[in-house]
Amino acid sequence: MCGIVGYIGDKLADSVLIVGLERLEYRGYDSAGVAVIEEGELIYRKKKGKIKILREILEKNPVGGNIGIGHTRWATHGEVSDENAHPHFDCNKKIAVVHNGIIENYIELKEELIKKGHIFSSTTDTEVIAHLIEENFNGDLFEATRKTVKLLKGAFAICVISEKEPDKIVVARFGSPLIVGIGKDENFVASDVPALLPHTKSFVYLKDSEMAVLYKDKVLFFDFDGNKIEKKIERASVEIYDVDKGDYPYYMLKEIYEQPEVAERILNDKLKGDEIFFENLNLSKSFLSKVKRVIIHACGTSFHAGLVGRFFLEKFARVYTEVDISSEFRYRNPLLEGDTLMIAISQSGETADTIAGLREAKSKFIKVLSIVNQEKSTIARESDGIIPIKAGPEIGVASTKAYTGEILCLYLFSLYLGRINYVVGEEEFKRYLKPLRDIPMKIRKILSDTSFIEELSDKYHKSKDFIFLGRGINYPTALEGALKLKEISYIHATGYPAGEFKHGPIALINPNMPCVCISPKSEIYDKMFSNIKEVAARKGIIISVATEGDEKIKEVSKHVIYIPDIIEELSPVLSIIPLQLLSYFIATKLGLDVDKPRNLAKSVTVE
């Protein structure tokens, strides 16, 4: 995924572009660049590395101009290099393009263009777009761009400027998000809302196969056939605070600490007294009562939330539930019948594999419910119904508040479905709602004193390997804890089902390997306790996550992180918090960039 921005107005374009790119840096940060038109001339700066490098270059060697486009890259085609940084240009550097997505047919297009004499200076797919526009240009940049996008296969959100027509930015969207920001005598375009918020809260969300031409004083909208279309201007519900770090050193820490408020917001939004209420479910009770099978699919952290959700759906709603990784689901030709409901889980709502899985289901007339944080995203728009997580923008690449939000939404939906199926009676329903209301306070309690977890990060931040073990509903917690650690500290970490550990992986245990054992109060506590003993017998370093008051766990643990007492079903929401903090403190102890880990991006919008 990459971040693109564009500006036209009276301000100096480069300052607007740089700030916009910094607000989109979570989308990718391998390289960055801007192109502006200054006194009729197209000029640019671009460089491998994070945006701060580009900012330094612009401070040393500034550009003027009141129209420009910018890009921050997560490399897909073409290595990370200065040449492959966007913007990309035509042969004469009169046309500049920035692009988010993947052009799947770029090789054949490139071969054709080379035969026509075009000279390429990068190994990216994007550069093909600039040369195609040059090839199609007959004095009308919009028409040249429109003809070009009709030739492209894959996903793209592009911004185009040219010194031949210095009064406009032409943009197009297919498969990657693009939002137009409407200002007063100035207009903006960006991949995501945070880049626009300092300037405007009036947005137009482009849909697939839509284009726009941004002038200083107006914006015109078209479809890919060139027909003018009317678009609705929407007001943003996001506040600038939501996308600022505030006093936190990193977005990830801010978002860890936002989890009590997120839980409260979910409960306030979806619990009306003792009734569960979903505003945009759009799935009738009569339809839901006939659902006999649920397929959940997602990627990464959202997949782990789905694994927790399976426990809820099978326990509360008694529906057969399977959980799949989206990139596997979309290619296994899944069996999908009329009584199946798909649940797609995604924070960004733009994950390519999850979108593809959703479309696979839709092609087989299966209804899709998505649990999604970005309510204007592709997944949200293409689902039959949505349960918005309402966690607010999650900027840190490592997902935290969205994860606990996804679990709480799955818990509520499963109880809702259980009521419809008459599986969950009135008393049982209320019994399971009560501990839910305690969640915000119990998360706050964990967050109120993190000193012990900081001490553990001091002790173990130089470890080369970690193992995370969990059972039952906390097996996903082990997977999620391992993912958090490896993606921001680069320490090798693996999550296993504790009962499986003796079937081979236990050979890994050694006196230098911390083994995090998630073992809160549960019906299978004794089984988990035995598994921990197996590890302790082989001199592993045991760090247990256990329920307050559990003295027995000390017999087999070197360290114990306590969490407040909670019913087993909701223990994943609490037991992950110390693991989020542990990974955060270890990564910062190692001096790493927690919000922008190497090789990663906030949403993977390519296959």
Annotation says 110 is catalytic: no
| Window of 7-15, 240-248, 297-305, 555-563 that interacts with ligand AGP by CB under 6 A | 297-305
Applying CB under 6 A, among 157, 214, 276, 398 the residue interacting with ligand AGP is 398
Nearer to ligand AGP, 383 or 399 (CB): 399
Helices (H), 391-524: 401-420, 426-437, 439-448, 451-460, 475-489
Whether the ω angle into residue 87 lies within 30 degrees of 0, i.e. cis, is: yes
| Candidate list 301, 321, 378, 474; residue touching ligand AGP; CB under 6 A | 301
Q: How far apart are CA 419 and CA 427, in angstroms?
A: 11
Residue 302 in the binding site for ligand AGP (CB under 6 A) = yes
Name the minimum Å distance from CB 547 to ligand AGP. 26
Which of 2, 159, 299, 515 is labelled catalytic? 2
**Beta partners for 497?**
470
Alpha carbon separation from 277 to 267, 308, 412, 478, 497 (Å, rounded): 10, 21, 9, 31, 34
Could you tell me the CA-to-CA distances from 549 to 342, 388, 437, 545 in Å, in that order? 40, 36, 22, 12
Instruction: Give the active site residue among 94, 168, 367, 602.
Output: 602
| Closer of 389 and 412 to ligand AGP (Cβ) | 389
Does the active-site annotation cover 602? yes
Looking at the Cβ atoms of 162 and 373, the one nearer to ligand AGP is 373
Report DSSP state, residue 458: H
Contact 605, 101 (CB under 8 A): yes
In terms of CB distance, is 43 or 307 closer to ligand AGP? 307
Contacts of 316 (CB under 8 A, 6+ apart): 414, 415, 417, 418, 423, 424, 432
Shortest gap between Cβ of 601 and ligand AGP (angstroms)?
A: 8
User: Shortest distance, CB of residue 164 to ligand AGP, whole angstroms?
Assistant: 39
Q: Using the rule CB under 6 A, is 299 a contact of ligand AGP? A: yes
Contact 326, 351 (CB under 8 A): yes
Cα–Cα distance between 97 and 185 in angstroms, integer? Answer: 23
Among 87, 183, 300, 418, binds ligand AGP (CB under 6 A): 300
**Cβ-based burial of 161 (10 A; exposed 0-12, middle 13-18, buried ≥19):** buried
Query: What is the DSSP code (8-state) at residue 367?
Result: E
Report if residue 522 touches ligand AGP, rule: CB under 6 A. Answer: no
Pairing outcome for strands 541-547 and 559-563: parallel
Residue 477 touches ligand AGP, criterion: CB under 6 A: no
Q: Which stretch binds ligand AGP (CB under 6 A): 139-147, 152-160, 392-400, 450-458?
A: 392-400
For ligand AGP, give the closer residue by CB, 33 or 300.
300
Joined tokens for residue 388: 């918005």
Instruction: Give the N- to C-terminal CA distance of the chain in Å, as an integer.
Output: 10
Identify any residues that bridge with 95 across adjacent strands, giving them in sequence order: 162
Least Å distance, CB 402 to ligand AGP, is 6
Give the residue, chosen from 102, 182, 276, 397, that forms a contact with ligand AGP under the rule CB under 6 A.
397
Question: Binding to ligand AGP (CB under 6 A): which residues in 25-44?
Answer: none
Least distance to ligand AGP from the beta carbon of 481, Å? 11
| Alpha-carbon gap, residue 137 to 540, rounded angstroms | 67
Beta sheet of 154-162, edge-to-edge order: 88-89, 95-103, 154-162, 169-174, 210-214, 219-223
C-alpha dihedral sign at 311, 316, 319, 324: negative
Nearest approach, Cβ of 410 to ligand AGP (angstroms)? 13
Please state the closest distance from residue 246 (CB atom) to ligand AGP, in A. Answer: 21
Please answer whether residues 271 and 278 qualify as being in contact, where contact means their C-beta atoms are separated by less than 8 angstroms. no
- 56 touches 22 (CB < 8 A): no
Which part of the chain contacts ligand AGP (CB under 6 A), choosing from 212-220, 254-262, 296-304, 445-453?
Answer: 296-304
Q: How many other C-beta atoms can be found within 10 angstroms of the C-beta atom of residue 146? A: 20
Residue 344 beta carbon to ligand AGP: minimum distance, rounded to whole angstroms: 9
| Residues in contact with ligand AGP, shown as a per-residue x/- string from 337 to 356 under the rule CB under 6 A | ---------xxx--x--x--
Judged by CB under 6 A, which of 14, 127, 242, 487 binds ligand AGP?
A: 487
377 belongs to the binding site for ligand AGP (CB under 6 A): no
Contacts of 604 (CB under 8 A, 6+ apart): 1, 299, 351, 352, 353
One character per residue 135-174, x = contact with ligand AGP (rule: CB under 6 A): ----------------------------------------
Among 102, 161, 604, 606, binds ligand AGP (CB under 6 A): 604
Which CB atom, from 126 or from 347, has the smaller least distance to ligand AGP?
347
Tell me the closest approach of the beta carbon of residue 295 to ligand AGP, in angstroms: 16
In the bound state, the residue with its beta carbon closest to ligand AGP is 300
Q: Rounded CA gap, 366 and 292, in Å? A: 13
The residue count for binding ligand AGP (CB under 6 A) is 15
Tokens 């197996």 belong to: 534
> Which among 344, 452, 358, 359 is positioned nearest to 406, based on CA atoms?
344
Residue partners of 227: CB distance under 8 A and separation at least 6: none
Q: How far is the CB of 301 from ligand AGP (least distance, A)?
A: 3
Minimum distance, C-beta of residue 524 to ligand AGP, in the bound complex (Å): 27
DSSP helix/strand/coil, 97? strand
Active site residues: 2, 602
The contact set with ligand AGP (CB under 6 A) reads 299-302, 346-348, 351, 354, 397-399, 487, 603-604
